[in-house]
Amino acid sequence: MSRVVFPARVLPYLLLSPQIAITAVFFYWPASQALWQSVLREDPFGLKTTFVGLANFRSVLADPNYLQSARVTVVFSVATALLAMAAALWLASAAERVVRGRGLYRTLLIWPYAVAPAVAGMLWLFMFNPAMGTFAYMLRRAGYNWDPLLDPGQAMTMVVVAAAWKQISYNFLFFVAAMQSIPRSLIEAAAIDGAGSTKRFWTIVLPLIAPTTFFLLVVNTVYAFFDTFGIIHAVTGGGPARATETLVYKVYNDGFVHLSLGSSAAQSVILMAIVILLTAIQFRFVERRVHYG
């Protein structure tokens, strides 16, 4: 790619300024506020403020609930990413085999991506809420003790399924694109050599889409970490007994419900560090190996 050089000195900065302004207002400013809050201890009204140094971080990291929340986040993220990717991969390989109406199937499968997380949460809540959900009644009538309000495992299953469902479309899109970029000749040659469709999938398709898979793994993990607040808020509110309280949800709960601002700020600074780390991994190992299109 040839390098384009602008002759003017001001123009490039001018062109960049809207983006920089947005980043400054919506990231640098709040982030610096969070950093400052995280070393303070304050009552909700801000009437008395004391500088406490790193005490908020110490108490957060020593809090068994925080470690429990970290465990919940790992279980939730791994389960959501695996489920969303496995289902999308299966659907993508199935869509590849469809001959007639392939475009229609693809469009239908991409639709759920347009649903807002909170709406997705409500959707699943209406189906599976023990007090009013249609499927909840069916499950109980069938003799299964369905009660995600009390059973931590069932609650976790519900948020994982809802969060994964929302992400399947995105993964599907990438898997379909990756599969299309595999040269037909390779697959045909394997077929002539006598490899069945399962064999072809495991020995040819899967290795060739590995970069996409790795890319999606990172994206899905980031999604499960940071973009699922709406779903958890709508479906379980972090309960029962904190069984679905992820790190992000805990920041909200401690800051906005319990008004413990210092602790909440310290937690969001830790989360910021995690995001930076994940983004670095993505740039360093993924961007170089994925080829779009």
Partner 1 sequence: MSLRTILAGTTGLSLVALASTPAFAVTELQWWHAMSGANNEVVDTLAKEFNDSQADYRIVPVFKGTYPETLNAGIAAFRAKQPPAIMQVFDVGTGVMMAAEGAMKPVAEVLEEGGYAFDKSQYLPGIVAYYSKPDGTMLSFPYNSSSPILFFNKDIFEKAGLDVANPPKTWSEVFEAARTIKSSGAAACGYTSTWLTWIHLENFAAWNNVSYGSNENGLAGPNVELALDAPIYVEHFQAIADLAKDGTFRYGGRTSEAKQLFLSGECGILTESSGGLGDIVKAGMNYGIGQLPFVEGEGRPQNTIPGGASLWVFGGLDDAQYKGVAEFFNFLSQTEIQVRLHQQSGYLPVTLAAYEATKASGFYEQNPGRETPITQMMGKAPTENSRGVRLANLPQVRDIANEEFEAMLAGSQDAETALKKLVERGNAAIREAVGSQ
List residues binding partner 1 (CB under 8 A): 41-48, 131-132, 147, 149-152, 237, 239-242, 253, 256-260, 262
CA separation for the pair 182, 110 (Å, rounded): 21
Q: Tell me how far, at minimum, the Cβ of 178 lies from partner 1, in Å.
A: 43
CA separation for the pair 274, 135 (Å, rounded): 37
Question: Across-strand partners of 50?
Answer: 41
Cβ proximity to partner 1, 60 vs 89, nearer residue: 60
**Range list of β-strands (E), 8-134:** 40-42, 49-51
Cβ proximity to partner 1, 96 vs 147, nearer residue: 147
Q: Tell me how far, at minimum, the Cβ of 253 lies from partner 1, in Å.
A: 8
Cβ proximity to partner 1, 143 vs 196, nearer residue: 143
Does the N-terminal peptide bond of residue 240 adopt cis geometry, omega within 30 degrees of 0?
A: yes
Cβ proximity to partner 1, 147 vs 227, nearer residue: 147
Q: Tell me how far, at minimum, the Cβ of 37 lies from partner 1, in Å.
A: 11
Cβ proximity to partner 1, 200 vs 242, nearer residue: 242
Structure tokens at 189: 């040659």
Cα dihedral 270, 272, 278, 279, rounded to 10, equals -160
Apex 69 CA angle, 66 and 73, nearest 5:
140
Q: Tell me how far, at minimum, the Cβ of 75 lies from partner 1, in Å.
A: 17
Q: Tell me how far, at minimum, the Cβ of 62 lies from partner 1, in Å.
A: 12
